[in-house]
Amino acid sequence: MRYLPLTEEDRRAMLGVIGVKSVDDLFGDVPAALRLKAPLDLPKGMGEIEIERELAALAAKNMAADSVPSFLGAGAYRHHVPAAVDYLVQRGEFLTSYTPYQPEIAQGTLQALFEFQTQVALITDMEVANASMYDGATAAAEAVMMANRVTRRAKALLAGDLHPQYRAVIETYGRFNGFATTLAPLDAVGAAIDNTISCVVVQNPGFFGDVRDYAALAEACHKAGALLVVAVAEIVSLGLIKPPGAMGADIVVAEGQSLGNALEYGGPYLGLFATREKFMRQMPGRLTGQTVDADGRRGFVLTLSAREQHIRREKATSNICTNSGLCALAFSIHLALLGEVGFTRLAELNHAKAVQLAERLEKLPGVSLMTPSFFNEFTLRLPCPAAPLIDALASRGILAGVPVSRLLPERVNDLLVTATELTTDADITALAAALREALT
Amino acid sequence: MSGPSNKDWSKAVSGFVPAAGGGRELQDDEPLLFEAEGAYYDGASARSGVDLPAPLPVSDRLGGLRREGKIGLPGLSEPQIVRHYTRLSQKNYSIDTGIYPLGSCTMKYNPRLNERVARLPGFASLHPLQPPATVQGALALMDRLATWLKTITGMPAIALSPAAGAHGEICGMMCIRAALEARGEKRSRVLVPESAHGTNPATAAACGYAVDPIPGDARGRVDLAALKAKLGPDVAAIMLTNPNTCGLFEDESLAIAEAVHGVGAFFYLDGANLNALLGRVQPGALGIDCMHMNLHKTFSTPHGGGGPGSGPVALAASLAPYAPLPWVVHRDEGFALIEERAGDAAQSLGRIKAFHGQMGMFVRGLAFLMSHGGDGLARLSGDAVLNANYLLASLKDLLTPSFAGGAMHEVLFDDRFLGETGVTTLDFAKALIDEGYHPMTMYFPLIVHGALLVEPTENESKESLDRFIAAMRELAARAAQHDTEFFQSAPHRAPRRRLDEVGAARKPVLRWRPPAKSTAAE
Amino acid sequence: MSNIRYTKDHEWIRVDGEEATIGITDFAQDQLGDIVFVELPEVGRKVEKGKEAGVVESVKAASEVYAPASGEVTAVNAGLAKDPARVNADAMGEGWFYKIKLADAKELGDLMDEAAYQAFTAEQDKH
């Protein structure tokens, strides 16, 4: 077997040193009744050729989103990942290293994470950021639990245009962690704030695509002693729109997949988590900090670890251990490649494409645009149920958007449509034509 | 062509150490991205490593919410960025560099085939909300992986969505709590052995339970009598790792299961150390109700400097109804996703993350399993256990094994062999860095003094183990000679000497900030 | 030093009329190693004997600090935020944590005096 270096001769020699007759004898502590008597009923081992063939055949049964005109978003976005990103994250020194607990021989990972934390703080306009969470949704749930710790309250107010799956994850954690959640339509959130809530969670751009200013909401939260948590599902938006920090957000959580990371059918993704310095010791997850070594040279270490499970155990701020390290590296490299100029242009490009797309689609008969202001994603209300239409268009080779009913069953006629820098004029024409045909 | 004079040239490079000189460049400091020369050039001089087309002029629909001012991101060209990260990478130790014997972390080889197949566009370019008819291959792959995991564990159901081991733990504990609530019971305590990984108590607490520690016995296993004494009608579950973090098989697992079930509680198995059991013991036979697996340990998906992981959870029939959304099901028309709490999934605990789980890791994990095959798993676990016992046999005269007898896939030593030398476990580990090796897990588990937990995995050759053993023996002998200074000042040959962690925590610097007088970055 | 009492959790309390000053013992700071952070109760908070009143952290450990007696917090050692090393340097003096207005002086009755605490730590050192 190609991954196993031991030869039969090695095994015999090693058993001799140990002083047992067979490998099976090494399992003597396992009661005989518990041991399997025969190999598992599973396919036999294969070489690379057969595996590539078999998995390629499975992959071929899928419609890759980059092989057809594709307009899906709703928390996962198709962007171009520069070739250098994929090369660098596959360097074995990054790919096959562990969490940097031995800083002397992990400065590469640690410095990259320090740079990542800085980038996240810059684009969100927050003071500090951690070294990543699993995804945007779990980061949102962790933000609520952190707000509960900070305020010593246990009730979160969720705004209506928070991604339904983010809301669902927060509700799941609430049920088991012991905090309450209430949902309010976006325009009723302000009125629902009182001094029993730990935080308000809003999303910007919202699930339906709207971009809004939450500065007044932040003020209302602070007056009530609560925190404002802003979730960002499309991180590229921060190249163009006012960042949550500038609105007065106390915690910013985000899905970072859009930079550096492929769609991968929903994971692994990248949770971003940023906050104010005064709350730093209440943060979940790993943090990288700057220090010096015994010779006085600058170096980086994991720090403030007394918050974490491996030290604090049941009193830890979170149970998270493994996070999304390599996804964070991919994000960081992509953002480093873009730089200020590239990141803002990428965001401009996304918005321009989305405006072009909206201009075409809002003119279709019976179609209305529900989101007057947006970044790269908007909601259309169709004159018919969206889901069957999307299925029909998919069978014709167009991934025309996400029917809102997939996530919110009562919104039957609504369709979420996204454009990115990868959307071509031909894609827009194809979608407009197909929708026109289907609707008339 | 006119160039700068020599004088100008030396001025232009002031502050930089010349890169020429036999690899010395790799020892130099790598500036932060933000400190790179020219990173904050403005206007037409500003650099970017990505060429994007100019956007069409459109009248924006941002509702007046345009960002004001600069973000403060540095700009560099592609070759500068590639060089920066390549140089950073060279300051890392990795599995590809050498043995990475972190106990209970299972740092095994990460096959490149896995990377290749995970990048097939038919997997990597799928949007999670595509119509299920367009992702039948992906759903089939998830179903196939679940079948492998069910067979390996001997358990009837698999929840694929947890993103990592600790996420799998909380998923499992949520299922347990949901099942108890469905019985109308509200229990308050979870029993966790003192040798457990920190995520176990942290998870139980996050799930609303008080943590009650169980001591170990003289054999390094759970003290069954102490466990029984702690059981009662308010106990929700026990969380147990098997083989445990001492590298020992919990041979009274069935008795533990019987006792735990006797009070109506559940048996959670932490599958961090599943590698030792592959193809030899089905955890389902140990009387468990629930366990998580780490695809990034046992099934070779890369650790990536701290993730991403994947932590599928195996569930007994009594817990399966509570599995988180979504569920992959097979129907006449093909595979489907259940994404709502209805029908068969009416009792599901709901969502624990967005979308469907770590698909990229599922592809890699399945490729690994297909490589070994059902017939090869026992060989894999056999070699992992053989390598660990070979280390034990080759080191036990100089180091002090914490418990008598053989080991499973990892070996626990404590610091008694360092005696009065003044050398600590930490010093010993740092000296190992100078020998060219990544240290073992240190000071864990907490139940022995100065723990050194060594897990070689099945991927080390005998030659590699022999070199590692020689280095360990040499260091142990040196410590015995009281060469304390040698250890206390190590490492000398790594990119950095020991770092001031106290200073880092007392005055945290968690990000770069522009120098006070700089105007460029503000 | 006779007005100082000690707990089994290694806190000390020094009574001065109605007010008492509280900190962790030299033995405790030595066991913890370099202190990197101290979380103190807010002024005005009522702490309860035996209940958690703060946290003290080193790089590799974090310990809860329990109130040796009940009372209302009247002052905290703000200097520890900037310079937690004071706890290591002078645990019984400059490194004090907080002061309370004692709710009930009788609560001190079951705490150890200096000699008893010395004997207690000597016993702990053996383990």
| CA separation, residue A85 to residues A28, A260, B89, C122 (Å) | 48, 7, 13, 59
Q: How far apart are the CA of B375 and the nearest CA of chain C, in angstroms?
A: 44
Query: Does the structure show a pLDDT above 90 at B114?
Result: yes
ipTM above 0.90?
A: yes
Helix (H, G, I), strand (E, B) or coil at A134: coil
Q: Which two tokens stand for residue B252?
A: 């009274």
Number of cross-chain residue pairs from A and B with Cβ atoms under 8 Å apart = 715
- CB proximity B157 to A under 8 Å: no
Q: Which residues pair with B240 in a beta bridge?
A: B269
Dump strand ranges (E) for B207-258.
210-214, 235-241
CB contact under 8 A, B502 and C37: no
Listing from the earlier edge strand, what are the strands of the sheet with B441-442? B400-401, B411-414, B452-454, B441-442
Q: Which residue of B has its CA nearest to C84?
A: B506
Confidence at residue C126, expressed as pLDDT on a 0 to 100 scale: 65
| Number of C-beta neighbours around residue A24 at 10 A | 14
Element (H, E) at C71: strand C71-76
Q: Which residues pair with B361 in a beta bridge?
A: none
Residue entry with tokens 């010349």: B18
Instruction: Please tell me which of the candidates B91, B164, B198 has its beta carbon nearest to residue A322.
Output: B164
Say how far apart CA A252 and CA A129 lie, in whole Å. Answer: 9
Of B489, B464, B442, B383, the residue nearest B97 (C-alpha): B464
- CB proximity A175 to C under 8 Å: no
Beta strand B313-315 pairing with B290-292? antiparallel
Rounded (5°) CA angle A295-A298-A300: 115
Mean pLDDT, chain B, integer: 93
- CB proximity C59 to A under 8 Å: yes
Query: Does the structure show a pLDDT above 70 at C90?
Result: yes
Each of the 440 residues of chain A gets a pLDDT tens digit; together they read 999 999 999 999 999 999 999 999 999 999 999 999 999 999 999 999 999 999 999 999 999 999 999 999 999 999 999 999 999 999 999 999 999 999 999 999 999 999 999 999 999 999 999 999 999 999 999 999 999 999 999 999 999 999 999 999 999 999 999 999 999 999 999 999 999 999 999 999 999 999 999 999 999 999 999 999 999 999 999 999 999 999 999 999 999 999 999 999 999 999 999 999 999 999 999 999 999 999 999 999 999 998 888 888 888 999 999 999 999 999 999 999 999 999 999 999 999 999 999 999 999 999 999 999 999 999 999 999 999 999 999 999 999 999 999 999 999 999 999 999 999 999 999 999 999 999 98
Confidence at residue C59, expressed as pLDDT on a 0 to 100 scale: 86
| Confidence category of residue C127, pLDDT binned at 50, 70, 90 | low
- CB proximity C60 to B under 8 Å: yes
Q: Which residues pair with C54 in a beta bridge?
A: C65
Query: Does the structure show a pLDDT above 70 at B300?
Result: yes
| Number of C-beta neighbours around residue B218 at 10 A | 8
Query: Does the structure show a pLDDT above 90 at B7?
Result: no
Torsion angle, CA of B201/B206/B212/B217, rounded to 10 degrees?
Answer: -20
| CA separation, residue A106 to residues A239, A303, B90, B155, B387 (Å) | 31, 14, 9, 38, 26
Let me know: does B320 contact B157? Beta carbons within 8 Å.
yes
Q: What are phi and psi of B72, to 5 degrees?
A: 100, 20
Confidence at residue C1, expressed as pLDDT on a 0 to 100 scale: 45
Q: How far apart are the CA of A312 and the nearest CA of chain C, in angstroms?
A: 6
pLDDT digits (tens, 9 = 90+) for B432-446: 999 999 999 999 999
- CB proximity A37 to B under 8 Å: no
Element (H, E) at A35: none
Query: Does the structure show a pLDDT above 90 at B12?
Result: no
Of B138, B504, C54, B134, the residue nearest A65 (C-alpha): B134
| Confidence category of residue C124, pLDDT binned at 50, 70, 90 | confident
Say how far apart CA B6 and CA B20 lie, in whole Å. Answer: 17
Amino acid identity at B347: Q
| CA separation, residue A114 to residues A109, A289, B28, B156 (Å) | 9, 7, 18, 43
Beta strand A227-232 pairing with A251-255? parallel
Confidence at residue B94, expressed as pLDDT on a 0 to 100 scale: 97
Confidence at residue B27, expressed as pLDDT on a 0 to 100 scale: 61
Q: How far apart are the CA of C34 and the nearest CA of chain B, in angstroms?
A: 7
Q: Pick the more confident residue, B6 or B248.
A: B248
Residue A221, Cβ density class (10 Å: 0-12 exposed, 13-18 middle, ≥19 buried): buried
Confidence at residue B16, expressed as pLDDT on a 0 to 100 scale: 42
Chain B positions in Cβ-Cβ contact with residue A102 (cut-off 8 Å): 93, 429, 433, 438-439
Of A311, B447, B507, A286, the residue nearest C63 (C-alpha): A311
Say how far apart CA A13 and CA B394 lie, in whole Å. Answer: 12
Q: Which residue of B has its CA nearest to A372?
A: B61
| CA separation, residue A18 to residues A210, B99, B405, B519 (Å) | 67, 21, 11, 67
- Give chain A's end-to-end CA distance (angstroms, integer): 60
Task: For chain B, state the CA radius of gyration.
Answer: 27
What residues of chain B, 402 to 461, have a C-beta less than 8 Å from chain C? 443
Chain B positions in Cβ-Cβ contact with residue A216 (cut-off 8 Å): none
Percentage, residues of chain B above pLDDT 90: 92
Q: Pick the more confident residue, B18 or A156.
A: A156
Q: Which two tokens stand for residue C28?
A: 């405790």
Of A375, A372, A78, the residue nearest A241 (C-alpha): A375
Q: Is the preceding peptide bond at B491 cis, omega within 30 degrees of 0?
A: yes
State the chains in contact with C (3 or more Cβ–Cβ pairs under 8 Å).
Answer: A, B
| CA separation, residue A228 to residues A120, A135, A148, C108 (Å) | 18, 19, 12, 44
Query: Does the structure show a pLDDT above 50 at B21?
Result: no
CB contact under 8 A, C60 and A312: no
pLDDT digits (tens, 9 = 90+) for B330-372: 999 899 999 999 999 999 999 999 999 999 999 999 999 999 9
Q: What are phi and psi of B277, to 5 degrees?
A: -105, -10
- CB proximity C43 to A under 8 Å: no
Instruction: Please tell me which of the candidates B443, B501, B506 has its beta carbon nearest to residue C84.
Output: B506
pLDDT digits (tens, 9 = 90+) for B131-186: 999 999 999 999 999 999 999 999 999 999 999 999 999 999 999 999 999 999 99
Of B175, B152, B179, B150, the residue nearest B162 (C-alpha): B175
- CB proximity C85 to B under 8 Å: yes
Number of cross-chain residue pairs from B and C with Cβ atoms under 8 Å apart = 14
CB contact under 8 A, C61 and A281: no
pLDDT digits (tens, 9 = 90+) for C7-51: 999 999 999 989 999 999 999 999 999 999 999 999 999 999 999
| Confidence category of residue C123, pLDDT binned at 50, 70, 90 | confident
Chain A positions in Cβ-Cβ contact with residue C81 (cut-off 8 Å): none
Let me know: does B222 contact B212? Beta carbons within 8 Å.
no
CB contact under 8 A, B506 and C60: no
Confidence at residue B14, expressed as pLDDT on a 0 to 100 scale: 43
Helix (H, G, I), strand (E, B) or coil at A234: coil
Say how far apart CA B144 and CA A54 lie, in whole Å. Answer: 12
Percentage, residues of chain B above pLDDT 70: 93
Instruction: Please tell me which of the candidates B63, B89, B97 has its beta carbon nearest to residue A373.
Output: B63
Say how far apart CA B270 and CA B274 lie, in whole Å. Answer: 9
Confidence at residue B17, expressed as pLDDT on a 0 to 100 scale: 41
Helix, strand and coil content of chain A, in percent to the nearest 5, comes to: 45, 15, 40
| Number of C-beta neighbours around residue B220 at 10 A | 23
Say how far apart CA B516 and CA B521 lie, in whole Å. Answer: 10
Confidence at residue A312, expressed as pLDDT on a 0 to 100 scale: 86
Chain C positions in Cβ-Cβ contact with residue A312 (cut-off 8 Å): 62
Confidence at residue A311, expressed as pLDDT on a 0 to 100 scale: 85
Confidence at residue B15, expressed as pLDDT on a 0 to 100 scale: 43
CB contact under 8 A, C36 and A306: yes
